[in-house]
Structure 1
């Protein structure tokens, strides 16, 4: 068996996150993939390729060389929001309490990142979330992956709680790095180095913290509908419209801007606009079409109120959603739903 466990396969989406954090443009992408034997297409939105452990480690090495920044692991980890983990992240955020959310991540994470493991145990007044990276690589690469993992775990807990996590304790087995002062810019709780294992200690009192969204079921329905539409969207590297659409469907709606989308596709906003124009559309048209389609699908779910549909589509004011829906379909969403139920 290879030291880098070539039977482990990691979604290419994580390498796309690395490319975006580095601010790479299309011409720079081959540098990130040097030594992996992977085509540049794996870094394009919509690609569903999976990398071996060896290839993923090589991407990390290349990224470290390109960035020339020792804190790169923390920077990449900052981008690992729950949505980065696909349905697993949404499953966790749809859990009834924090402990269940963490257990969901523990149970399903190996399906997404086979070399990452999470063990959860009660330890006195703490909930111990032990992080384990099973890939074999040098100490600096292990540190980078552990930093990424710690940041991803913090992001999940904070997304669930709806606030910054300040009362936890991060423990790392490695010695305090030269850039240790930078940790405070990324991890909001206390930090200790040279500990027996890598883990996040969360106050046990938070384990039963209820989902603050109050509408976890609606969130799960929305994610399922987005996933269905994602499967229906053609994977076409040459079609910018499809690439934009696939990227938007993979994010919580309303959470990204046009600049974010352009960056994710390794182009400038101007280039994005030019390529969409060649396909006879524009960014606003793509997003409006997507929102209108999702609105109809959401309204087909009897468990979702009009207000819930508005929030799920990124409208914080349901009146704005109603106006948009009338513009799309010539009638209020409530009337559309009544007609659909009659047919």
Structure 2
């Protein structure tokens, strides 16, 4: 049943969404463990669904209630912009790696459009290219309160912007962003989040940019290494139990769920809804530390790259989040007592443990 411009109703109980997006919302609100319950009010969901490592899914209606609750908790209509800013490609799990692996802008957008319904079936995106414009159009697939629809539309614009900018390696300033909702009271804030002109009360939700951007190459120069990193991380994730996880397991899972080097200890603590001090104390009680976990993971990923690819040392360093290969070589020598090149030469034919 059609519910208005760009909105299509489906069986909303059949649309399932990873709980990880609700964790992003809780993190953006800077909630601590004891403050999580109001975010889930009216959903019937337990608090542990927001804790790292829980791979549960929630329904579309539950997700929309979480969005509504988030706006009430923040006490400001700006929640859609703040949340959208957090939805970088890395926040979408395997979809994020696919986008980062894309050779050019249009491939990244098409990959995003193809796989978005698998992660966020609340909406779908259509990507079109003609001789003048590269266009992304949003279709919202559920009914929702006006403020929740506005949040979804703001998130759409910011997700498209993030995908394009991750490939271009710069701000997207030459697009035109059209949104169906009327100019909101917080419209003066849009320029702090969106880098192109925004138009309100439009007939569709659309981001349109010059067609010449479609074939702009991935600025990272190491797109293939992101794809391999995804495979490595997924295999390591499979080795971590999904229930009764220790704090060490939760930290390891969080690090594996993001491209290497994209999150810090403070980010991990926020995702676990605790302070850095509390995180450090809990890890110490398990005989571990954030640095120990991070270093061990990077060393594991490093040897997998060196054994399973012919990427240059520079490309391996970039895929692991190092700013330069010299820093990676120094770390690798500390881990294994030899350089990456020596390791690759000596261990290439040995099976992975």
TM-score class normalised by the smaller sequence: over 0.9
* Match of residue 279 from structure 2: 272
Instruction: Give me the whole-angstrom Cα distance separating, in 2, the residues matched to 1:225 and 1:304.
Output: 14
Does the CA-based 8 Å contact 1:235-1:242 persist in structure 2?
no
* Match of residue 70 from structure 2: 63
* Match of residue 173 from structure 1: 180
Which consecutive residues of structure 2, in runs of 5 or more, have no partner in the other structure? Answer: 2-8
* 1:229 and 2:271 correspond: no
TM-score (norm 1): 0.96
Does the CA-based 8 Å contact 2:306-2:348 persist in structure 1?
no
Distance 1:34 1:336, change over 3 A: same
* 1:183 and 2:190 correspond: yes
| Larger mean Cα displacement after TM superposition, 273-282 or 223-232 | 223-232
1:12-59 CA distance string (max 9 Å, x none): 110000000000000011111111111112111121111101110111
The alignment partner of 1:132 has SS state of strand
| Larger mean Cα displacement after TM superposition, 272-281 or 252-261 | 252-261
Residue 88 of structure 1, CA deviation: 1.4
Instruction: Give me the whole-angstrom Cα distance separating, in 2, the residues matched to 1:124 and 1:341.
Output: 48
The alignment partner of 1:10 has SS state of strand
* 1:197 and 2:204 correspond: yes
When the two chains are superposed, the root-mean-square deviation of aligned CA atoms in Å is 1.6
| Larger mean Cα displacement after TM superposition, 120-129 or 162-171 | 120-129
The alignment partner of 2:58 has SS state of strand
Instruction: Give me the whole-angstrom Cα distance separating, in 2, the residues matched to 1:313 and 1:135.
Output: 39
Moved over 3 A (4+): 1-4
Equivalent position to 1:291, from 295, 298, 322: 298
The alignment partner of 1:130 has SS state of strand
Instruction: Give me the whole-angstrom Cα distance separating, in 1, the residues matched to 2:307 and 2:136.
Output: 39
TM-score (norm 2): 0.93
The alignment partner of 2:13 has SS state of coil
Alignment of 1:215-226 (within 5 A): 215-226=222-233
The alignment partner of 2:322 has SS state of coil
Instruction: Give me the whole-angstrom Cα distance separating, in 1, the residues matched to 2:103 and 2:71.
Output: 39
* Match of residue 21 from structure 1: 28
Instruction: Give me the whole-angstrom Cα distance separating, in 1, the residues matched to 2:78 and 2:282.
Output: 35
Does the CA-based 8 Å contact 1:4-1:136 persist in structure 2?
no
Alignment of 1:255-270 (within 5 A): 255-270=262-277
* Match of residue 114 from structure 1: 121
* Match of residue 146 from structure 1: 153
Equivalent position to 2:97, from 90, 98, 110: 90
Distance 1:293 1:124, change over 3 A: closer
* Match of residue 13 from structure 2: 6
Does the CA-based 8 Å contact 1:118-1:130 persist in structure 2?
yes
Instruction: Give me the whole-angstrom Cα distance separating, in 2, the residues matched to 1:85 and 1:3.
Output: 23
Aligned length: 343
Distance 1:339 1:200, change over 3 A: same
Residue 319 of structure 1, CA deviation: 2.0
* 1:340 and 2:343 correspond: no
| Larger mean Cα displacement after TM superposition, 99-108 or 192-201 | 99-108
* 1:319 and 2:326 correspond: yes
* Match of residue 5 from structure 2: none
Instruction: Give me the whole-angstrom Cα distance separating, in 1, the residues matched to 2:274 and 2:331.
Output: 29
| Larger mean Cα displacement after TM superposition, 274-283 or 127-136 | 127-136
Residue 91 of structure 1, CA deviation: 1.1
Does the CA-based 8 Å contact 2:68-2:147 persist in structure 1?
no
The alignment partner of 2:17 has SS state of strand
* Match of residue 250 from structure 2: 243
Instruction: Give me the whole-angstrom Cα distance separating, in 1, the residues matched to 2:93 and 2:191.
Output: 28
* Match of residue 46 from structure 1: 53
Residue 65 of structure 1, CA deviation: 1.2
Residue 140 of structure 1, CA deviation: 1.0
* Match of residue 76 from structure 1: 83
* Match of residue 132 from structure 1: 139
